[in-house]
Amino acid sequence: MKIEDARVIVTSPGRNFVTLKIVTDEGVTGVGDATLNGRELAVASYLTDHVVPALLGRDPSRIEDTWQYLYKGAYWRRGPVTMTAIAAVDTALWDIKGKVAGLPVYQLLGGRSREGVTVYGHASAPDTESVLAEVARYVDLGYKAVRVQTGVPGLQTTYGVGRGRMFYEPADAAVPSEATWSTERYLAHTPQVFARVRDEFGPDLRLLHDVHHRLTPIEAARLGRDLEPCRLTWMEDPVPAELQEGFRLIRKHTTTPIAVGEVFNTIWDCRQLITEQLIDYIRTTVVHAGGITHLRRIFDLAALHHVRSGSHGATDLSPVCMAAALHLDVSIPNFGLQEYMRHTEETDQVFPHSYRFEDGYLLPSESPGLGVDVDETLAARYPYKPASLPVNRLEDGTMHSW
Ligand code: EZ4
Ligand code: CO
């Protein structure tokens, strides 16, 4: 079998997505998500101009070899654009392998290690009172874990807080919009929110919070400590993580578990965090960390060091990524949680899939391959619209993380 064609599909059914579709000479097709929020066209070009020409004529069954060829062969290793492009190829090849074998991909990864994939939903609202109602809605829908984000008194907008029910889309303007941030106001407010939520919903509901990289290690240590009575499942992205040893300081001061990694692209970005046991959950994803092949390598390293998976699953990760993530999630020994934000109806129509939500769990598809596709005719009806993630400035105008 040979790769005969590989198409890059850019579409915007409510938000932008880039998808790679590989077609073999025997007519078997595979899909991979290649969406990099706010930088979509860079990946589309990387694929079209540099990867696709090298794929044509290759044997699609050689997944590992193709991964190594694209990673080592580029000379310029790592980085989000490169690793997202490699991820798309890798994911599509796993899809093809599953279809050829007549098995869902999780069977090729060793089969089930659990019945379903526990997911968490996003409760977000401008203030504490209204976020309680949002948490209740997720509990009613069956969710066993909920991420809680609120606005901060005195700040006009806060990243991570949606603009409507079940709707969360941080990428808006073509040129990044700007928001104002205050660490002091945030640190004073957040523990009060969680005290109310824990009080209202009791000890069983798993609660999570995303800091979106906005603190320094010592500030994150304080937040972690202040949140200890609320028993969080995790505090996410407490600090920007380029300086991996920075997490030692947080670790020294708090038992609040730490999750990080949604912006990581390779095992090298998290090697020290994992091997020094500085984190509890690694949030790397199929689409941004080199596909199923490389993500499994990261999760295997994590398993040796008491670190569980907690893959990113916001709306900019397409149903193709989610379908692939679920095959890994259900099969690995050290699964923790999977983030799950519902896509819009338009997105679900462009990417027909057969994974489903049931009683707080996502269940991977039982179809051969990944169990997801892209409807290219429908996709063509939604042209690309530039949209970027916002930036933050402190109250005096200084640029800040996120
Ligand atoms: O900022 O998906 O945990 N989820 C998040 C997301 C990310 C966006 C970036 O593309 O932090 O909202
Ligand atoms: Co996050």
Handedness of CA 197, 232, 294, 390 (dihedral sign): positive
Mean pLDDT check: name the lowest of 162-176, 191-205, 256-270.
162-176
Q: Does residue 159 carry a catalytic annotation? A: yes
- What angle is formed at CA 172 by the lines to CA 168 and CA 174, rounded to 5 degrees? 160
pLDDT at 94: 99
The yes-or-no verdict on residue 401 having pLDDT over 90 is no
Query: Mean pLDDT, to the nearest integer, of 215-223?
Result: 97
Protein residue closest via CA to atom 8 of ligand 1: 314
Q: What is the pLDDT of residue 393?
A: 95
Residue 164 has pLDDT above 70, yes or no: no
pLDDT higher than threshold 80 for residue 311: yes
Task: Provide the pLDDT for residue 402.
Answer: 59
Give the separation between CA 243 and CA 52, rounded to whole angstroms: 35
Q: Is 188 in the pocket of ligand 1 (CB under 6 A)?
A: no
Q: Does the pLDDT at position 165 exceed 80? A: no
Q: Taking residues 211-224, what's their average pLDDT?
A: 97
The DSSP string of 79-147 is: -HHHHHHHHHHHHHHHHHHHHHHTSBHHHHTT--SSSSEEEEEEEEESSHHHHHHHHHHHHHTT-SEEE
For the beta sheet containing 3-11, the strands, ordered from the edge strand earlier in sequence to the opposite edge, are 3-11, 17-24, 29-33
Instruction: Give the pLDDT confidence score for residue 169 in this predicted structure.
Output: 82
Helix crossing, 291-303 with 319-331: angle to 10°?
A: 40
Residue 161 reports pLDDT greater than 90: no
Residue nearest to atom 11 of ligand 1 (CA): 212
Average pLDDT over residues 99-120: 98
Report the pLDDT averaged over residues 225-245. 97
Give per-residue pLDDT as tens, 337-352.
999 999 999 999 999 9
- Average pLDDT estimate for 25-35: 98
Question: Quick one: pLDDT at residue 157?
Answer: 85
Answer for the pair 149, 134: CB distance below 8 angstroms, yes or no.
Answer: no
Segments of 242-381 assigned E as strands: 258-260, 281-282, 308-309, 338-339, 356-358, 361-363
Pocket flag, ligand 1, residue 40 (CB < 6 Å) = no
**Structure confidence at residue 254 as a pLDDT band (50, 70, 90):** very high
Q: Which of 209, 212, 294, 353 is catalytic?
A: 212
316 lines ligand 1 (CB under 6 A): yes
pLDDT > 90: what percent of the chain?
Answer: 95
* Centroid of ligand 1 to alpha carbon of 160 (angstroms): 8
* Kind of pairing between the strands at 17-24 and 29-33: antiparallel
For the chain, give the mean pLDDT.
Answer: 97
pLDDT in tens, 45-56: 999 999 999 999
Q: Residue 230 above 70 pLDDT?
A: yes
Cα dihedral sign for 207, 212, 217, 219?
A: negative
Residue 159 is predicted with a pLDDT of 86
Residue 168: pLDDT above 80? no
The finding on whether 210 has its CB within 6 A of some atom of ligand 1 is: yes
Q: What is the C-alpha to C-alpha distance for residues 272 and 242, in angstroms, rounded to an integer?
A: 11
Ligand 1 atom with the smallest distance to the CA of 341 is 4
Beta bridge partners, 122, equal 147
Give the SS3 label for residue 60. coil
Residue in 46, 159, 186, 361 annotated catalytic: 159
**Closest atom of ligand 1 relative to the 171 alpha carbon:** 10
Instruction: Write the pLDDT tens digit of every residue in 52-68.
Output: 999 999 999 999 999 99
212 is catalytic: yes
pLDDT digits (tens, 9 = 90+) for 183-211: 999 999 999 999 999 999 999 999 999 99
pLDDT at 241: 95
d(CA 397, CA 378) in angstroms, rounded, equals 43
Which pLDDT score is estimated for 172? 85
At residue 248 the predicted structure's pLDDT band, cuts being 50, 70 and 90, is very high
162 pLDDT above the threshold of 80 = no
Residue 27 Cα to ligand 1 middle (Å): 36
Ligand 2 centre to CA of 2 (Å) is 39
Ligand 1, atom 2: nearest CA belongs to which residue?
314
Q: Does the pLDDT value for residue 125 go beyond 80?
A: yes
**pLDDT of 306 higher than 90:** yes
Q: Which of 210, 236, 283 to mutate to test the pocket of ligand 1 (most atoms within 8 A of CB)?
A: 210
